[in-house]
């Protein structure tokens, strides 16, 4: 595990995209750009993550399909956004614009020791469901956006490396950090294989 002061990879897989969020909070994946608001389903977090960073990990069908917390944090909100179930493999993410912001997804918003961070679990073709360790199977739950708030009473606290969710088949995890973290390591690159718990950077 990456350890104190470091950001751990939340999953086994391949880095599909990483970089800084521009001033209007846009992400880029396989040559396509889309807004953070499109991905998260709200503009509420545009200022929170303005000039922050993101990293996308693709889990192929052969990878370990569980997702772990990259750093210590307390879950504050979970959101389910319905959508399509396009494949998220290399050819699809290249040919279909903003596929991650069009597929159904579960978004986890955390309060960390050094600021907020978010994780987006993106569904895909053949992914029967997205499941969390604290709320069970999340998808599908209907055709409207659903929210679960944990601001009061629940105190869902996770240590680095704790399992937060799982896919029934491979898919994608996007980790989003604010600008006040030291961020992802500069030597990470697209197409790089990554393992759960491997160091991705520092905060």
161 in Cβ contact with 111 (< 8 Å)? no
Q: Catalytic site residue 22? A: no
Question: Which residue reads 């896919």 in tokens?
Answer: 167
Q: Catalytic site residue 155? A: no
Active-site residue (options: 6, 9, 12, 118): 12
* Interatomic CA distance for residues 170 and 62, integer angstroms: 7
Q: Catalytic site residue 171? A: yes
Active-site residue (options: 6, 65, 68, 109): 68
37 in Cβ contact with 46 (< 8 Å)? yes
201 φ/ψ angles, rounded to the nearest 5 degrees = 165, -160
Tokens of 104: 């159904």
Catalytic residues: 12, 68, 171
């Amino acid at each position: 595990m990456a350890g104190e002061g470091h950001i751990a990879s939340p999953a086994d897989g391949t880095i599909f995209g990483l970089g800084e969020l521009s001033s209007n909070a846009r992400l880029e994946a396989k040559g396509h750009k889309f807004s953070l608001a499109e991905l998260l389903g709200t503009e509420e977090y545009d200022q929170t993550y303005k000039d922050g960073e993101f990293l996308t990990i693709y889990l192929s069908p052969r990878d370990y399909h569980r997702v772990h917390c990259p750093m210590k944090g307390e879950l504050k909100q979970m959101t389910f956004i319905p959508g399509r179930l396009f494949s998220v493999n290399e050819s699809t993410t290249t040919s279909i614009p903003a596929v991650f912001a069009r597929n159904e997804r579960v978004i986890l918003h955390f309060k960390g020791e050094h600021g907020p961070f978010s994780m987006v679990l993106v569904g895909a073709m053949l992914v029967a469901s997205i499941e969390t360790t604290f709320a069970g199977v999340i998808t599908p739950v209907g055709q409207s956006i659903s929210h679960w708030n944990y601001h009061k009473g629940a105190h869902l606290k996770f240590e680095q490396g704790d399992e937060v969710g799982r896919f029934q088949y491979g898919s994608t995890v996007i980790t989003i950090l604010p600008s006040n973290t030291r961020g992802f390591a500069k030597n990470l690159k697209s197409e790089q294989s990554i393992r759960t718990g491997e160091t991705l950077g520092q905060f």
